């Protein structure tokens, strides 16, 4: 049984509150909030103030994906804004600061995620794995929705599933980028249990059926 985390990057930004209600009605329990700074990735989106407003109008699990340089500068604000899971990128700072940022997130009682971009090897998460609640494997270069799924990430996904089983079985393994029913299935077969889906979910005509099938 997998979990879908619809990415609100593909939602109607003018009507987010009603979008969240509709997402919940389709059976999804998580909401993926993409936060971009225009530096770590060449795009901008939500910040911690928007995350706080989102928290105020939904009780869904907020799965916050920080695509932000030196995230240690802002993890306190995102935790206080009400993130349930806060994911930072392993490439976004030095190993020392990454470890410190993880500690900060934990001190708020917020679940910690660590993400790897396509060119980053699985081993990059190993030094932190005991502290992680979620590992996010990017299946596109982060920054934009509606890109093509990179199937060549599957050996890395599989390797991370093995590492999780060995070192931290409770840790979720999430994929993000180009996920639809078909690519979601491939990811589940390679060990993913949380599937982010933006454009495919929002474009689906029967979203209830989409959620049921992708979570099966
Ligand atoms: C990309 C974001 C994704 C994006 C996924 O940088 O992290 O969460 O919204 O969108 P789709 O599912 O359209 O690839
Ligand atoms: Zn994302």
pLDDT for the residue numbered 169:
98
Q: Kindly give the distance from the C-alpha atom of residue 175 to the centroid of ligand 1, in angstroms, as a whole number.
A: 10
173 bridge partner residues? 135
CATH superfamily of 3-215: Aldolase class I (3.20.20.70)
> Among residues 161, 169, 170, which one has the least CA distance to residue 192?
161
pLDDT for the residue numbered 52:
98
Mean pLDDT of the chain: 98
Looking at the whole model, is its pTM more than 0.85?
yes
Average pLDDT over residues 67-91: 98
Q: Nearest bound ligand to CA 10?
A: 1
What digits encode the pLDDT tens for the residues 140-199?
A: 999 999 999 999 999 999 999 999 999 999 999 999 999 999 999 999 999 999 999 999
> Among residues 16, 5, 117, 15, which one has the least CA distance to residue 67?
117
Domain map of the chain by residue range? 3-215
Average pLDDT over residues 16-41: 98
Whose C-alpha lies nearest to ligand 1, atom 9? Answer: 145
β 172-176/61-67 pair status: unpaired
Residues serving a catalytic function are 34, 176
Residue 143 Cβ contacting ligand 1 at under 6 Å? yes
pLDDT band with cut points at 50, 70 and 90 for residue 130: very high
């Amino acid at each position: 049984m997998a979990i879908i985390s619809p990415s609100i990057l593909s939602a109607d930004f003018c009507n987010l509150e009603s979008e969240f209600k509709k997402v919940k009605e389709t059976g999804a329990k998580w909401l993926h909030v993409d936060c971009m700074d225009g530096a770590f990735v060449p795009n901008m989106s939500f910040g911690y103030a928007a995350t706080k407003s989102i928290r105020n109008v939904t009780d869904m699990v907020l799965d916050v994906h920080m695509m932000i340089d030196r995230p240690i500068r802002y993890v306190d604000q995102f935790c206080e804004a009400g993130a349930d899971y806060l994911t930072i990128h392993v490439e976004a700072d030095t190993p020392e600061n990454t470890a410190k940022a993880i500690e900060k997130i934990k001190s708020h009682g917020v679940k910690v995620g660590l993400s790897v971009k396509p060119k980053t090897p699985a081993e990059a998460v190993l030094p932190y794995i005991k502290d992680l609640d979620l590992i996010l494997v990017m299946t596109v270069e982060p920054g934009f929705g509606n890109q093509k799924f990179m199937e060549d990430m599957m050996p890395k996904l599989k390797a991370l599933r093995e590492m999780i089983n060995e070192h931290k079985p409770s840790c979720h393994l999430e994929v993000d980028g180009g996920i639809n029913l078909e690519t979601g299935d491939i990811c589940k077969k390679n060990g993913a249990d949380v599937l982010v889906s933006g454009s495919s979910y929002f474009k689906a005509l029967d979203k209830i059926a989409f959620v049921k099938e992708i979570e099966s």
